[in-house]
Amino acid sequence: MREPFGIYIHFPFCVKKCNYCDFLSGPADSGTRKAYADALCREIYSFGREYGMRETPSRDEKIPVDTIFLGGGTPSVMDPADLTRVMETVRKVFDVLPEAEISMEMNPGTFREELLAFVKKYINRVSLGLQSADDSELRALGRIHTFSEFKKCFDALRDAGIANINVDLMSAIPGQTLASWEQSLSRILSMEPEHISCYSLIIEEGTPFYNLFEEGRLDLPGEDEEREMYYLTERLMNAHGYHRYEISNYARLGRECRHNVRYWRRSPYIGFGIGAASLLDEMRWSNTRDLQRYLSGSGSLPDIREEFQNLSVSEQMEEFMFLGLRMLEGVSCADFAEKFGCELDSVYGGVCERLISEGLLVREGDRYELTSRGIDVSNSVLAEFLLC
């Protein structure tokens, strides 16, 4: 059987932009959202035709899929009927394997009871964007929900049988202290989600936070306090049975996000929707970020695809290293040799030796892994593996 694909489906709509957000997202009316779901279905069918599938392919003709991720934006702002049409189209074109992980991002402020029927039928993993358990911090971020609304959403998902929930949390945000960060962590840990993603705020150009930061009017924690938040996170996670498997992600054993692991391991995936990226047969491309172009052209894949990159062997090696080292298990020398026909140390031996001497990398048997100090400065460490 062909190696299974992953599928990412981008829903670029939200109720309103958060103060820190530079994602490809924004508000839209119900008509636009419905038209977008129609366009997604056309693109998915077009992909099937590109791969020579008949109008009603047999299961053996379909491409197997073992991870699906509905992201955004806010997929949960969509009408459940439109989400259903998209997922039914996926099922018609792809062979969604029985063990597939099917994730959906959800903003607690968009939760409503009518979503539950869709979730129960099509979704087995939900990623809830909380960011903070402190309502004043949520207001500073521009979030549209309270902690109480988040908890109501979480409990409803549990009651509906969703046994795999992720919670997103953000540190180093305006007005946050070490004590309030600990309280957010403790509140979420007491609810026992299967997965917790912990990110530090990044001030992105073009956002309201960027303007405030430039004007010196953004009340951010200091560097020392941010560092204490970072260390506190790992201590509390470990104490409650969550293991860190990627730089920003913690999970119960066996509950790692399989779709995201696919990205870090460079397994094939197809992205549908505006701005969605794909990796297939060592070719990367992205869809147009222009909504109107996508709505009018999604039935013809050449009309919406752009930024093609046929990866050279050296580029594949770079990605193998700097994506693989994001995971705490690191990269395997045997896997490198099997894929590229040469020894990892023949390409990166000098870099690895230097990083080991600086305490940023360690060799454990067959694998190279970042040390704790290497994780602290991971961006600069990973950049060392660029060959050009």
Residue 353 sits in a domain whose CATH number is 1.10.10.10
Question: Over 90: is that where the pLDDT of 387 sits?
Answer: no
- What residues make up the domain containing 360? 313-383
- Residue 295 resides in a domain: no
- Residue 118 resides in a domain: yes
* CATH number for the domain that contains residue 228: 3.80.30.20
* pLDDT, tens only, 4-18: 999 999 999 999 999
* pLDDT, tens only, 351-363: 999 999 999 999 9
Q: Which of 2, 4, 1 is nearest to 270 (CA)?
A: 4
Q: What's the whole-number mean pLDDT along residues 248-273?
A: 98
- Residue 114 resides in a domain: yes
Residues 6+ apart with CB under 8 A from 60: none
| Residues 256 and 334 reside in one and the same domain | no
| Residues 54 and 170 reside in one and the same domain | yes
| Residues 254 and 325 reside in one and the same domain | no
Q: Which of 44, 10, 42 is nearest to 26 (CA)?
A: 10
Domain boundary among 223, 238, 263: 263
- Residue 292 resides in a domain: no
3 CB-contact burial (10 Å; exposed 0-12 / middle 13-18 / buried 19+): exposed
pTM: 0.95
Q: Are 132 and 169 in contact (CB under 8 A)?
A: yes
Total tally of structural domains belonging to the chain: 2
For 260: left if phi > 0, alpha if psi spans -120 to 50, otherwise beta; the answer is alpha
| Residues 322 and 258 reside in one and the same domain | no
- Residue 231 resides in a domain: yes
* pLDDT, tens only, 126-160: 999 999 999 999 999 999 999 999 999 999 999 99
| Residues 83 and 18 reside in one and the same domain | yes
